[in-house]
Amino acid sequence: MNTNLMQEIEAYVTQLMEEKLPKELYYHDLNHTREVVARALEIGSGEKLTGEELEIVAIAAWFHDVGYTEQYVGHEEESQFIAENFLRSKNYPEEKITIIKNCILATKYLHDAGNILESVLIDADRLSMGLENFEERGELLRKEWEVYLDKHYTDKEWCDIQIKYLQETEFLTRYAFLRYQEQKDRNLKLFKERSIQLERETSKITQQSKAYAIQISNTLLNAAGTIFLGLVIGISLSLTVWGNYSYSWGIGSISGFLIGLALRIGDRPFERLIIRKFNFPVSLFIGTFTLIALFKSAQYIGMVIYDLLLAEMNFSEITESRIFKDIISTQGIMIMLWSAFLISVILNIIKLTSRIIGPRLMMNYIMGMYHKPIEEERIFMFLDINSSTSLAEKMGTEKYHELLNRFFYDIGEPISKSKGEIYQYVGDEVVVTWKMKDGVKNANCIRCYFRIEKQMEKLRPEYIKKFGFCPEFKVGMHGGKVITGEVGRTKTEIVFHGDVINTTERILNQCISLGKKMLISENLLRRLDLLPSIHAEYVTTRLFKGKENEVSLYTLIKE
């Protein structure tokens, strides 16, 4: 090689890039050019190039990125132009200048190499894909693209870009492949693993956002339903006192909104402080007179708000108005109390009765959905407390009943949040069911299981304090077609018949022998879209007595 010429080229390129190269070129800087020159000589020597060929490759390496001093996109052509002018000024042979220009152009992305010299320079330019610092260098390129190409990528998007680059780009020389391919494969494996992890994290965030959106939507929907009920009650009571006048509707709307708001806010406290502590007659008595007081108070407040804001009265005028006199008259009070009493009794009976048969099943019963048996697809979850017999003997009947009552109460909220229906309690076992579409949607049946787990872990200190331990449980899940219908005369009940229920019970019974807390059938599992944080683990395949087909069982693990 012409040493003097190479020194002149190095000095010229170094000065040019130091003076004119933008500081925002985080990747294509002077250090990158120096590295490409060194790699080109390394690979060229490994490929047994002659001294003349090494000189051509080295010159092309020095000039291949000088075009960035003029423009970002299309810099290769600028680099050719700068190299050509400099080399001609040194009387460098024209045929060699042409070869050098072709080598520079070959460094364009996914450009095909025309000869070994171009292959050497291409491999030298992208050798970082076979180095341990590939990820670090990639971040510099990502930062540079944000400035010059206005391309902004998420971590997942950039990771996938790097994977695509590593997959579609190959070393062209035998030397680079033998020396650097192994590290390139490791880099690809690293980015693939990272992509999967980022996808899980992104999907998890998306699922959480979706869950929050669903929760907010359900809350708003329930609130809207309660407010609507309050409006019906408020307007009805106003019409009974004043008749069909415009102010009756106005006062009824205001008082109805207040009633609905109070019903929404007071539902949980009433459940906790009254229903759980008192029997049915006492709860009905307290609930009825609480609602009467609420209805009467809301009507007075509604009247005052209406007179002050809409009728534009002051406080002294309110007591003299006809509206006020009607509401405090004996007839008005009696009508109001009687109407409020009837509404209160009906609402409380519905609420208290729905606790016995379940709100969803009660609604189905009221609507007559299962008066005639129908075939439908359902999911069943059998949940059973472990070692129940020994616990009952150890604790005594009364204390054990208290434990069951507390446990079944505490798992009620996770079941309700997951859109499940409690079908029945059988001793220490609870049977939960979903219509297939409701259980599959958002993996509600799976969410139910993990919500119960989370709830019990949260309440563990309270159980240990009260009972000396926290009950453990096992779960079996399966789904399929059942016949649903009403049975009985003096005691009517909605029941489910079908092999699905028997199979679910048998799946539950396998938990102990297989040492698993929960088991789910493959038939149901295939219909679910599991959350990214949950994965299924195959356990075994069983042929249950009386069944023609084997049932493959899986357990679910949350990361």
Q: What's the mean pLDDT in 534-546? A: 84
Buried b / exposed e over 90-106, threshold 16 CB at 10 Å, is eebeeeebebbbbbbbb
Please write the tens of the pLDDT for every residue from 284-316.
778 777 888 888 788 888 888 888 877 677 777
Does the pLDDT value for residue 118 go beyond 80? yes
pLDDT at 491: 64
Give the integer Cα–Cα distance in Å for 353 and 195: 52
* pLDDT of the residue at 324: 73
Q: Is-contact 81 121, C-beta < 8 A? A: no
- pTM score, two decimals? 0.48
Is it the case that residue 203 has pLDDT exceeding 70? no
Q: Work out the average pLDDT over 52-62.
A: 94
Instruction: Choose which CATH entry (2.60.120.260, 3.30.300.20, 3.30.830.10, 1.10.1300.10) describes domain 3-204.
Output: 1.10.1300.10
pLDDT at 205: 55
Is the predicted pLDDT of residue 395 greater than 70, yes or no?
A: yes
| 126 confidence band (pLDDT: 50, 70, 90) | very high
Could you give phi then psi for residue 315, rounded to 5 degrees? -60, -40
Fold classified for 359-558? Alpha-Beta Plaits (3.30.70)
Question: 63-67, 131-135, 521-525: which has the minimum mean pLDDT?
Answer: 521-525
Quote the pLDDT of residue 460.
93
Mean predicted lDDT score pLDDT of the chain:
85
Band of residue 363 on the pLDDT scale cut at 50, 70, 90 = low
Quick: pLDDT tens for 312-357.
777 777 777 777 777 777 776 777 677 777 777 777 677 656 655 5
Per-residue HEC secondary structure of 487-527 comes to ECCCCCEEEEECHHHHHHHHHHHHHHHHCCCEEEEHHHHCC
Domain boundaries, the chain: 3-204, 213-356, 359-558
Of 147-156, 307-316, 412-421, the poorest mean pLDDT is in 307-316
- Model confidence band, residue 53 (pLDDT cutoffs 50, 70, 90): very high
pLDDT of 508 > 60? The answer is: yes
| SS (HEC) of 387-407 | CHHHHHHHHCHHHHHHHHHHH
pLDDT at 98 over 90: yes
Distances (CA, A) of 405 to 66, 206, 409, 429: 79, 37, 6, 12
Handedness of CA 147, 150, 152, 158 (dihedral sign): negative
Confidence at 172, pLDDT banded by 50, 70, 90: very high
